[in-house]
Amino acid sequence: EVQLVESGGGLVQPGRSLRLSCAASGFTFDDYAMHWVRQAPGKGLEWVSRISWNSGTIDYADSVKGRFTISRDNAKNSLFLQMNSLRPEDTALYYCAREGGMAPLFDYWGQGSLVTVSS
Q: What is the binding site for another protein (CB under 8 A)? A: 35, 44-47, 50, 59, 61-62, 95, 100, 103-107, 109-112
Q: How far is the CB of 103 from another protein (least distance, A)?
A: 5
CA distances from 15 to 31, 61, 76, 107, 119 (A): 35, 19, 29, 33, 10
DSSP output for 35-46: EEEEE-TTS-EE
For another protein, the closer CB: 88 or 100: 100
Q: Which of 43, 51, 56 is nearest to 68 (CA)?
A: 51
For another protein, the closer CB: 26 or 100: 100
Q: How far is the CB of 77 from another protein (least distance, A)?
A: 19
